[in-house]
Amino acid sequence: MSSGLTAVLAVAFVPVYIHFLGIESYGLIGVSAILQGMFAILDMGLSATLNREMARLSVQENKAQEMRNMVRTLEVIYWGVAAMIGVAVFALAPVIAHRWVRASELSPETVAQAIRIMGLVLAVQWPAGLYAGGLLGLQRQVLLSAISVAVALMRSLGAVLIVWKVSPTVRAFFSWQIVSAAIQTLLVLLFLWRNLPVAPARASFQRDLLRRTWRFAAGMSGISVTVLILTQMDKVILSRLLPLELFGYYMLAAGVASAPMILVAPVFTAMYPRFTELVTVGDQVRLKELYHRSCQTLGAMLLPVAIVLALFSREILFLWTRNAVIADQAHLILSLLVTGSALNGLMNVPYAMQLAHGWTKLAFCVNVVAVALLAPLIIILTAYYGGVGAAIVWVILNSIGVLITIQLMHRRLLKGEQWRWYFEDVGIPLVASGGAALMCFALLPSGISGLQLLIKLAVITVIIMAVTLLATPATRLALVGYFRSWRVRVENV
């Protein structure tokens, strides 16, 4: 719920930003997202390590001191990295402005100034990821969600007010991001420490804890590097090859295509620490059933949304931006990117299972192979098809992942369960949502616009979602149980 609202807020005000700032300045917001993604490599797997360690230690006795020492040890490293990020981006701002970004309306000096402010935003916001990982490991998802929603509201609404009432400049926009980032980091820092168990001594930096967890952290760091390349290489290459205006269209489509991932994050963040607990206590029966239920739930929620976005990309973009040029330029890119994102999202629960077992080698090796294919494919297809070519590569890579990674994983973990994953966890919601989509196309009118089109899309989404939830075993049982309990409560009133 909270991640959905956070993502909706991030996307909903994009037309406002474009209206006040212009498409080139919005392209700079895309550059900020690239920088944030690129520096994710410096996480070194520490946030995922803290998540796993908090979940593992919380089910063991007399581990309060170790938990607090772990947080202190990793936060010292993280704050040092944050300072390095800020200094690096600030120093490289002129180089990025003159040699990377291809702006026509904004001067290099304006671009450089905006990038310096981006560096400060990144430095202040960076440690929040570590503290959030700790809260997730303690299974304080509700608390973290409340913080995320509050900060997202402040960040989005504040940015709109700034560019509307104060100054319609990219400098003003990013200056507000510094304020909201500082508040976010402070909140997650305070609440993580308050939720840690009381220990007999003050928390301290412990090198021994790093030695014990270095293997998992190193594996996560390797995965982070390859994931960074896989998710950001298209944007890095396109930001260099395309004019800033066309790059802005691509980033707009990429932002909308990420919308289905708001349904993935809550499932992953809830299941990862829970899987870790079950692996720690050795309960394989409950682990297997929880795995399949969570995979089915994710598929039933993710696939209907992805199908609607992919098939009605032009209409959605036009309704959202009220700009026919943007809809024409970005709709095909959106359809392809959302298809790739949906395939990627389906693999998140299996990935959480791998991390719960401390197994990082598979994801790293698969990503290395994908990286080897990524850059040449993007460069070749972009030369012929522009942003559409880069989006095609995203679909290809994730299709290969679904076909190969799942097979390789189930040779070691939950052996033989891959066929249930393909046919029941993913196959049933895919067939249900696809069939419902075809039915809607046949029955609902075409050639409409405005409010009628909005109502049509809403009806189609509701129908597809309802059919898929009822057809998928795990969600159907959950809905039946909910309505039975609701009926009992009503009868007892």
* pLDDT for residue 32 is more than 80: no
> Is the per-residue pLDDT at 31 higher than 80?
no
At 187, the pLDDT band (50, 70, 90 cuts) reads very high
Q: What pLDDT does 238 receive?
A: 75
**Mean pLDDT score, 178-192:** 92
pLDDT in tens, 274-302: 888 888 888 888 999 999 999 999 999 99
pLDDT at 52 over 90: no
DSSP-based three-state secondary structure for 201: coil
* Cβ neighbours, 10 Å, residue 104: 8
Residue 223 is encoded by which pair of tokens? 């995965």
C-alpha–C-alpha distance, residues 9 and 12, integer Å: 5
pLDDT computed for residue 409 by the predictor:
92
Query: Taking 70 as the threshold, does the pLDDT of residue 6 lie above it?
Result: no
Tokens of 54: 């908090």
Helix, coil or strand: residue 249: helix
Q: What is the mean pLDDT of residues 379-387?
A: 80
350 has a pLDDT exceeding 90: yes
Q: What are 112-135's pLDDT values in tens digits?
A: 888 888 888 888 888 888 898 888
Report whether pLDDT(11) > 70: no
pLDDT at 212: 74
Q: Give me the sign of the Cα torsion angle 280, 281, 285, 287.
A: negative
For the cut 70, the answer to whether the pLDDT of residue 211 exceeds it is yes
Q: Where are the domains of the chain?
A: 1-205, 226-493
Determine the residue type at 78.
Answer: Y
Q: What percent of the chain has pLDDT over 70?
A: 89
pLDDT for res 299: 92
| DSSP states of 341-360 | HHHHHHTHHHHHHHHHTT--
Residue 389 in this model has a pLDDT that exceeds 80: yes
Q: 73-111 pLDDT, tens per residue?
A: 888 888 888 888 888 888 888 888 777 776 667 777 888
- pLDDT for the residue numbered 454: 80
* Other beta carbons within 10 Å of 60: 11
Distances (CA, A) of 414 to 133, 268, 350, 424: 26, 18, 10, 15
1 pLDDT more than 50: no
Residues 428-484 pLDDT 10s: 999 999 888 888 777 666 666 677 778 888 888 888 999 999 999 888 888 887 777
- Residue 438: exposure state from Cβ atoms within 10 A (0-12, 13-18, ≥19): exposed
Q: How many CB atoms lie within 10 A of CB 312?
A: 21
Query: What mean pLDDT do residues 359-377 have?
Result: 84
Tokens 């700032």 locate to 21
Q: How far is CA 180 from the centre of its chain?
A: 19
Asked whether residue 489 carries a pLDDT value surpassing 70, the answer given is: no
Mean pLDDT calculated for residue range 11-35: 72
Report whether pLDDT(228) > 80: no
pLDDT of residue 8: 62
More reliable by pLDDT, 187 or 99: 187
pLDDT over 70 (residue 41): no
For a pLDDT cut of 90, what percent of the chain falls above it?
16
Chain position carrying tokens 């298209």: 234
pLDDT at position 349 is 92
Closest CA to 397 of 445, 470, 340, 320: 340
Instruction: Tell whether pTM > 0.95.
Output: no
Q: Report H helices in 258-359.
A: 261-281, 284-311, 313-321, 324-346, 348-356
- Give the other-Cβ count within 10 Å of 181's Cβ: 21
> So what's the pLDDT on residue 446?
64
Q: What is the mean pLDDT of the chain?
A: 82
Instruction: Kindly report, residue by residue over 244-262, the tens digit of the pLDDT.
Output: 777 778 888 887 888 788 7
State the pLDDT at residue 5. 57
> Nearest 5°: CA angle at 156, between 238 and 314?
50
Give the pLDDT of residue 355: 86
d(CA 109, CA 97) in angstroms, rounded, equals: 7
Rounded distance between C-alpha atoms, residue 436 and residue 430, angstroms: 10
